[in-house]
Amino acid sequence: MIRNLLIWAALIVAVTVPLIAAANSPLLAWRDPAYIMAGFAGVLSMGLLLLQPLLAGRDLPGLSPVASRRWHRRVGISLIVAIVVHVSGLWITSPPDVVDALLFVSPTPFSAWGVVAMWTAFPAACLGIFRQRITLRYRLWRLGHTGLATVTIVGCVVHAMLIEGTMEVMTKTALCILVLLASVRTLARLRVWDIRRRS
């Protein structure tokens, strides 16, 4: 019981501390509400990315496999909403910058990583939501879903690390490392690349 409580407490700290640090960022001074909303949606997205591999790997104590799968789907939808809010807020603040990013002509390298992460997050979510309606063998479906999700995770981590924005450096770095470690651990355990056996 104590171990389970410690795991949940550590997870809550990992997700909330970057949000608290971002709330105290001096870069928020005199910013428009849309910019602030976009910034916090981006920070929240990173926290949700930490939850996803943990739920997929059924590593969170107290959750049954069915509950883990259900929450994995819910967190995935929440992640898509957060990404849309993030991009919408930036669009309201500066439409030309968003257009340049979407067209991959932005002079800032972090923009391209963010756009790639966004465009892989959408189909990954669709594969998750419509899993029962897609006529793919389970292992092929899982390979596609996980492959897209992996690109999203890597893109989001690089995007977050390159950008100098709302997130505080130390908490941002720690959260990104946790996201990568959780993702690698889950990928290694599930062996999603092995599609030789029949589903």
Give me the CATH number covering residue 54.
1.20.120
Higher pLDDT, 165 or 121: 121
Q: How confident is the model at residue 195 (pLDDT cuts 50, 70, 90)?
A: low
More confident residue, 134 or 157: 157
Spatial distance between the Cα atoms of 152 and 108, rounded to a whole number of angstroms? 19
**Cβ-based neighbours of 56, under 8 Å, separated by 6 or more:** 68, 72, 146, 186, 190
Q: Would residue 199 count as lying in a domain? A: no
**Taking CA 162 as the corner, what is the angle to CA 158 and CA 164, rounded to the nearest 5 degrees?**
140
pLDDT at 135 over 90: no
Residue type, 185: R
pLDDT tops 70 at residue 196? no
Residue tagged 């407490």 (tokens): 9
Whether residue 92 lies inside any domain: the answer is yes
pLDDT of residue 164: 85
DSSP 28: G
Domain count, the chain: 1
Asked if the model's pLDDT at residue 198 lies above 70, the reply is no
Measure the CA dihedral 120/122/124/127, to 10°.
-140
In a domain, 197, yes or no: no
Query: pLDDT grade, residue 161 (50/70/90)?
Result: very high
Token pair 């909303």 is found at 37
Whether 21 and 167 have beta carbons less than 8 Å apart is answered as: yes
- Domain-located, residue 37: yes
Per-residue confidence (pLDDT) for residue 26, from 0 to 100: 85
CB 36 within 8 A of CB 79: no
How far apart CA 87 and CA 111 sit, in angstroms, is: 11
Q: How confident is the model at residue 29 (pLDDT cuts 50, 70, 90)?
A: confident
Residue 65 pLDDT greater than 80, yes or no: yes
Q: Calculate the dihedral angle through the C-alpha atoms of 3, 9, 10, 15, rounding to the nearest 10 degrees.
A: 150
Average pLDDT, the chain: 90
Rounded to an integer, the average pLDDT of 182-191 is 88
**Backbone dihedral angles phi then psi of residue 38, each to the nearest 5 degrees:** -65, -40
pLDDT for residue 141 is more than 70: yes
pLDDT score, position 199: 43
Q: Is residue 151 part of a domain?
A: yes
> Residue 134's pLDDT band (boundaries 50, 70, 90)?
confident
Containing structural domain, residue 144: 2-190
Residue 94 exposed, middle or buried by CB count within 10 Å (0-12, 13-18, 19+): middle
Is 160 contained in some domain? yes
Q: Is residue 88 part of a domain?
A: yes
Would you say residue 185 lies in a domain? yes
